[in-house]
Amino acid sequence: MSPLSRSVLILNGHYEPLTVCHAKRALVLVFLGRAEMIEASGLVVRSSVAAFPVPSVIRVLRAIRPHGRAVALTKKNVLKRDGHRCQYCASAHGKMTTDHVVPRSAGGADSWANLVCACAGCNRRKGNRTPQQAGMQLLRQPSAPRGVGAVILLGALPDPRWRIFLGPRHVSLLDDRLAAGMA
């Protein structure tokens, strides 16, 4: 991976997480004087006359209020939310898919609260039934990811240096993604 394509956490003027961008964009913001580097990644980008540290965290110099954006409900984001781990058997091997907890035929909606990551075997075993009807149990109740930190972590390859800028709920999500080797 190119150092310029690494994910960089962007904080607002009050050190609240806003979003994530590529290191190339972060360096441009720093060079233009619109942001300052808070944490370096340890990597360096060299030109013919200078070397520039690649940021891991930057802070924009003007105050921008973070807003609670909704995370798009997609198969990819459901799998990320659940750590690519089957929510019935805890397996992380093989092809993962999404499963409707309450089947669509029984009125189950396409929603964060009704979709979970499932391995092919558990999805077949559950079939067109609820987990209770199939004699299966969910590892945890599904819910929509909330807050700016969730949006950031679902869409980015995390860096452990981000830990001090995220709330405790998002630190555990960061730790899960790092442990799963997704960083």
Q: What is the CATH number of the domain that holds 109?
A: 1.10.30.50
What pTM does this model have? Answer: 0.57
Which regions of the chain does DSSP assign to beta strands (E)? 7-11, 17-22, 35-46, 51-60, 96-100, 115-119
175 against 103, higher pLDDT: 103
The residues that bridge with 59 in the sheet, in sequence order, are 11, 36
The residues that bridge with 40 in the sheet, in sequence order, are 55
Residue 141 lies in a domain: no
> How large is the C-alpha radius of gyration of the chain?
20
Exposed, middle or buried, 58 (CB in 10 Å: 0-12/13-18/19+)? buried
CB contact at 8 A, 34 and 138: no
Residues 159 and 127 in one domain: no
**How far is CA 4 from each of CA 21, 23, 40, 67, rounded to the nearest angstrom?**
10, 5, 13, 27
Q: Which two tokens stand for residue 123?
A: 């999805």
Specify the number of domains making up the chain: 2
Domain that includes residue 113, residue range = 75-134
**Mean pLDDT throughout 40-46?**
91
Exposed, middle or buried, 166 (CB in 10 Å: 0-12/13-18/19+)? buried
pLDDT in tens, 44-99: 999 899 999 999 999 999 877 655 566 778 898 898 888 889 999 999 988 999 99
Residues 64 and 153 in one domain: yes
